[in-house]
Amino acid sequence: MISPTLRAIFLMLLGLPILVAIALLAPELWIVSAGWIAGVSALIAVDTLLGASVRHYSAKVSLPPLLYVGSADDMQLDLEFAEGPLPARIEIQLETNALLGTQAPQGLRGWDGRNRPHTISVTPSRRGVAKVVRLWSRWQGPLGLIQKRHIQPFDLDVPVTPNVRWVRDEAIRLFSRDAEFGIKTQIERGDGSEFDALREFSSGMDRRAIDWKHSARHRHLLAKEFKTERNHNIVFAFDTGRLMSEPLGGVPKIDRAVTAGLLLAYVSLRNGDRTMLYGFSERPGLNSGFLTGTSSFPKAQAMVAELEYSEDEANFTLALSNLGAQLQRRSLIIIFSDFVDTISAELMLENVKRLTDRHLVLFATFEDAALSQMADAPPDTAQDVARAVIADTLLAERDVVFRRLQRLGVQIIETTPEAFSAELVSRYLQIKQRDML
């Protein structure tokens, strides 16, 4: 890169032929032109020499080890001039790849000694690898006649994973009540149908739990105490096709589904169940096998980060047939998917029916807020009326598909993204409590 001083000298040399031409054609203008050009050149040279030096400038960036989808994180910049004068204002722009979006230029003033720390907040929109390419910096001389530019290459990569920070916080909230009672999870006792112990019957207990044989033997009423069964198979089937790759509230649907799935995976692993992660679009993709114990949660986190976004339609026939062939015992299969109308859902219904013959299927999807808004919008114009009729028709077709799924014995979750995770965990606990597996 050519320094500003050399650039100024180069421009002056380019102006020499013009001065020679003026001296030959109009000698009377020579003195005026030469004086004016010499004065401007002198001011530019002074501004160049008095301005902050490019050679003494450096920039460093500190990145977090991981970034999370839809969550804001800070990157720390440290600008430094080793020696020489400091610019009154420096303008910077961080160049990143599309995963982090375009960072707007920012003007900075004020220095802490010879350093200028600065924080840049970034919010990844999708999973993948975020790249911090380089930092562009520029500042003016004290006279404002020149501008110096510096390019600091970084070429740093940061993986962007599902938002497990929220999963960790939510899991702590769910299990915080266990601290008073030791390590045993409170939701295990009193639910399910697996016998745990006998205890003396007291008022308020379910009379159906009385063990009459043991009560007669001990000559006072004893009741059975049950606990939630363990070691069930929980399968998370993520549709990564075109519909699930579309954004919902600025975040792809599949990323919202993955976040909710990770929360339930942690809960189920802690409850002693076995979890399996399965991804598919036009063909089967991710297959983690069954994981056990909370120690395997980091592996689950790393594997779902590899789920790819696809622009193809999901092939339910191939994906669900392949999944069913791998399951040797009754399992809870949670399908995270979406559909538009009855035609696009027809193949899904046929293949889900095969799974329900042996497994319990839970279909989890998001409410289509856009359709609901169009259907409920005031009919101010003819276009509004037509839009509302079409939206209402599509919503009616969604209801038809949901009713058909319910007749097949499929559990359904359709809610907003904000309530999706809580509803998913609640339905899982309800299924366990009712001994549906």
| DSSP per-residue codes, 167-212 | HHHHHHHHHGGGGGG-SS-GGGEEEEEEEEEEEE--TTS-GGGB-H
Global pTM exceeds 0.85: no
Max Cα separation, the chain? 131
CA 57, CA 69: separation in Å to the nearest integer? 34
Sheet with 147-161, side-by-side order of all strands? 67-68, 147-161, 128-140, 89-96, 106-109
Q: How far is Cα of residue 173 from the mean position of the Cα atoms in its chain?
A: 21
Determine the pLDDT at residue 48: 81
Q: Kindly give the confidence (pLDDT) of every residue in the chain, 437 residues in length, as a single tens digit, with 9 standing for 90 and above.
A: 455 555 555 555 555 565 556 555 555 555 555 566 677 777 778 778 888 888 889 999 998 888 888 788 899 999 999 888 889 899 999 999 888 887 888 899 888 888 999 999 988 878 878 889 999 999 988 888 888 899 999 999 888 887 776 666 666 566 554 444 444 444 444 445 556 677 787 776 777 778 888 888 888 888 887 665 668 899 999 999 998 988 888 788 998 899 899 989 988 898 889 999 999 999 898 899 999 988 898 888 888 877 888 888 889 989 999 999 999 889 999 999 998 777 778 888 888 998 998 999 999 999 877 777 888 888 888 888 888 888 888 888 888 899 999 999 999 999 988 889 889 988 998 888 787 87
CA 373, CA 111: separation in Å to the nearest integer? 50
